[in-house]
Amino acid sequence: MRDIARQSNISGRCPHRRVVAQCFSYLLFVFAGFVQAAELNVPADFGSIQDAINAADAGDTIFVERGTYNEVLTLTKDNLTLRGRETAQTFINPGSDNIALSIVGVNTASFANFTVINAQTGVSVSTSNNITIANNVFDVGTSNTGVFVVNLSPNVTLDNNTFYRNGTAVSRLQIASTVRNNIFFENTTALANGGNVLNTQFNCFFGNQDSNNIGNNATEGNPLFTNPGGRDFHLQTGSACIDVGTGVDVIDNTTADAGAYGGNLADSFPFPTPQPSATDTSASATGPFNISINWTANLAYLVAGYDVYYGTARGDYNGIDADEGPSPVNAGNVTSITLTNLNPSAGNPAAPVLISVAPSNRTLTLNWSAADQATGYRVLYGVASANENSVGVGNVTSFDLRGLENGTTYLVAVQATAQQTYYLATKVYDSTAERNTSIFSTEQSLVIGPINESAVSNTMNGLPEPVMPFPTLPNEGCFIATAAYGTEYAPEITILREFRDTILLTNHFGRILVTVYYRYSPAIAEVIKNYPSLKELVRGLLLPVVLVAVFILQASTLPKLVVSVLLLSLIWRYTSRFVFRIRNYRDKNRIEAA
């Protein structure tokens, strides 16, 4: 380069061809050095973390977005960085019989900002050098190992990890590895290294079954995790693990905390709140319109407050109509806020189409099409008119209208309604100068404001009626046909069942006959059960009915109609005489028994 500089003029140009070629070659060399280091994103660029590892070159960084990755990873390339977007939201779950990440024969690598769960071993390092494992949470199971460092792996550094309720947190056959600024919480064994605590310093211990091997400058005390059951391992005020490490926290530039949220590789995202609740607290149906929002506090010691986001489009919090100000509203360090004097305005919904009305006992089941812009529906029903009664059913497209009178024909219809829907979410922010902010909470929604109604749908009718097994006998049986034939699977019963469904229940007179049958048949069936000699008599009486039923089921429309009328008349007369004979038979036997 000195020769190149000498042959260049002061402006930095290369006037001679040879010098120009030399300049160009040098620039290509420098440019190549820059482009060699790339950022590979998962899942934007690669469907899995392992795919990104396989495609990476030396110097690359693999950046993994929030999510759960059910993978078994192997790293055998030098000089790679593997980082999660947010420790608390980026999970590796290989399964309890697998190693989450095996680092084998690698010179220089970094693994940071992940939560490793449900693994036989979280990270295994063998025959590798200059490996950094930092700012991770290891929650692999009470019989498993968080990190295992094998022999021939010098210069392995475990910085600012949280080891939570593992069998063995760290097992190192290579004791030259460094273990510092970590939290060891209720592990069976915190450090399995033969009693040697070389290079073990500034760690925080609590509740581990082995109380030895804590190393130098150790702290013993409760870390007061914010919500370990929800995998939030930030520290609360009063934690014994705050400012006890070595180095500086990147989050607030104070002495490093122990654990996954201390040191210079900690992610700065506060943990989001759970989904908030939202309640319509409007003064009346005509306003003023208000929404009260409540959420669970984030107890991490750096949390300073909450922002509330609102709007009228899902995921687009662009609200401007609350007296408290446009979205987001800074709620401060509280857990509730009311958005007041909102101005909800809904569109006009289209009319739904009533598709079907299915009867059952004292019930009509309605199904209808979804209507554009609808946020809810009303079912209208009555005897003389569908407008006699109205019931709101929510934003559904089917409804069981219950409590009706059997044998009464009802007129039914559906009407769509529309109100403004507000979508709400919260974010947590911390007390640092950067005001680090969490991701959004799970979205909540609430329908409030004036109600716009659609035109009424088409009207249909339905006749509620009891739907009872015919002639099936629950448990031990109680109906005539099954009592007579002794089994509900007799071919005669199959024919009678089909006759009932396809003939009797399709007309008013037939439904009355079925209703009468169900009213009186249990008592008659009980008599047949108690006096087995009646079974043959009843089978004989049912035989003509079965034969005619077969004929009707297979006949064309006109003969079927004629025979059906005759048969129904015959059945009516037969039934009356049959009931009379059965009663006489029962009463006679009672007298003789007495």
More confident residue, 207 or 154: 207
In this structure, what DSSP letter does residue 270 have?
P
More confident residue, 312 or 545: 312
At CB < 8 A and 24+ separation, what contacts does 40-46 make?
41/65, 42/69, 43/67
Report d(CA 358, CA 9) in Å as an integer: 93
More confident residue, 144 or 37: 144
Bridge partners, 225 (sequence order): 235
All residues at 6 or more sequence positions from 127 whose CB lies less than 8 Å from its CB, including other chains: 104, 105, 150, 152, 153
- For every residue of 214-267, DSSP letters joined together read --BT-EES---EEEGGGTEEEEBTT-TTTT-SSSB-TTTSSBPPSSTT-STT--
pLDDT at 319: 97
Residue type, 71: E
Burial track 236-252 (b if 16+ CB lie within 10 A, e otherwise): beebbbbebbeeebbbb
Strand 162-164 and strand 39-42: pairing? unpaired
pLDDT at 474: 40
State pLDDT tens for residues 78-106. Answer: 999 999 999 999 999 999 899 999 999 99
Percent of the chain with pLDDT over 70: 81
Percent of the chain with pLDDT over 90: 65
More confident residue, 281 or 557: 281
State pLDDT tens for residues 262-285. Answer: 999 999 999 999 999 999 999 998
pLDDT at 571: 57
CATH number belonging to the domain at 39-223, selected among 2.160.20.10, 2.60.120.10, 2.40.50.140, 1.10.10.10? 2.160.20.10
pLDDT at 478: 39
For residue 220, pLDDT beyond 90 = yes
pLDDT at 2: 34
pLDDT at 222: 98
For residue 225, pLDDT beyond 60 = yes
For residue 191, pLDDT beyond 60 = yes
State pLDDT tens for residues 381-420. Answer: 999 999 999 999 999 999 999 999 988 999 999 999 999 9
pLDDT at 240: 98
- Tell me the mean pLDDT in the region 155-184: 91
Of the listed ranges 46-50, 188-192, 477-481, the least confidently predicted one is 477-481
State pLDDT tens for residues 491-502. Answer: 777 777 777 777
More confident residue, 521 or 278: 278
Of the listed ranges 105-109, 137-141, 282-286, 485-489, the least confidently predicted one is 485-489
More confident residue, 6 or 272: 272
pLDDT at 233: 98
pLDDT at 127: 93
Cβ neighbour number for residue 43 with a 10 Å cutoff: 14
Task: Give me the sign of the Cα torsion angle 335, 336, 337, 343.
Answer: positive
